[in-house]
Amino acid sequence: MSNKIVVFSCSWDGWSCIDAAANAGMPYPASVTVIKLPCLSGIDAGLILRALEYGADGVLLLGCQPHECRHGRYGKNIEIEFDKARQLLSLLGESSDRVRLARLDAFDGGGFIETVKSFSAALEDKARVTASTGNKS
């Protein structure tokens, strides 16, 4: 698995999933880079695009379930910025599926591994289609 994936994770339930996966010895690819944010509501379309501009193949936003948000933000801003990033990618002729949003329950290590693997597989499929047709979106 060689896709470079940047994960922006909130420091609460999102991070607990990554932590649980590590504690349980569940491996995830070395090409996955995790960046921990206090709350995923602090994410910005600019930050997502910056990761892609600097060479990431995909960006995964990993946060709590909306009703679990410890900062009382309930994830509204995440949805706005997530949609914005996807729309900008479409305008740029890139696949909007290069950004994915996942909300997991606390300590769901298996869920995190599954999410990362399915995202990576989807990116690989897309890359194969793009290579054969030249159509990115």
Partner 1 sequence: MNMQEIIRQTRAHFCLDCGKCTAVCPVNRFDPGFSPRLIVQKALSNEGGAYDDARIWSCVGCNMCTVRCNYNVSYVEMIRHLRMLSRENGTELVYSHGGVTESVMHMMGKDDIKQDRSGWLPADIQVKSPGDTAFFVGCAPYFDTIFKDLNVKLTDGTIGAMRLLNMAGIPFDLLDNERCCGHDLLLAGDSNGFVALGRNNVEELGARGIRKIITSCPECYYTLKVDYPRYVDGWNVEVIHITEVPEIFKLKGAAMKKIRAAFHDSCKLGRHFKMYDGTRNLLTSLAGAELCEMENNRENSLCCGASPWMFCGSVNKQIQDERLRQADATGADYMVTSCPKCQIHLTCAGMSGDGKYAGIKIVDLYHLAAQSLAQKDG
Contacts with partner 1 by CB under 8 A lie at: 44-47, 49-50, 52-53, 80, 84, 87-88, 90-94, 136-137
C-beta closer to partner 1: residue 30 or 91: 91
Instruction: Give the Cα separation of 113 and 21 in Å (integer).
Output: 7
Given a contact cutoff of 8 angstroms between Cβ atoms, the answer to whether 78 and 101 are in contact is yes
Q: Give CA separation, 52 vs 20, 27, 74, 104, 107, in Å.
A: 27, 24, 26, 23, 28
- Strands annotated E in the chain: 5-10, 32-37, 58-63, 99-103
Of the two residues 45 and 102, which places its CB atom closer to partner 1 in the complex?
45
Name the minimum Å distance from CB 109 to partner 1.
Answer: 30
Q: Smallest distance from the beta carbon of 106 to partner 1, in angstroms?
A: 28
Shortest distance, position 11 Cβ to partner 1, whole Å: 19
Identify the burial level of 93 via C-beta atoms within 10 angstroms of its C-beta, where 0-12 means exposed, 13-18 middle and 19 or more buried.
exposed
Our CB check for partner 1 shows the closer of 47 and 122 to be 47
Q: Which is nearer to partner 1, 5 or 56 (CB)?
A: 56
**CA 23, CA 20: separation in Å to the nearest integer?**
5
Minimum distance from residue 47 beta carbon to partner 1 (Å): 5
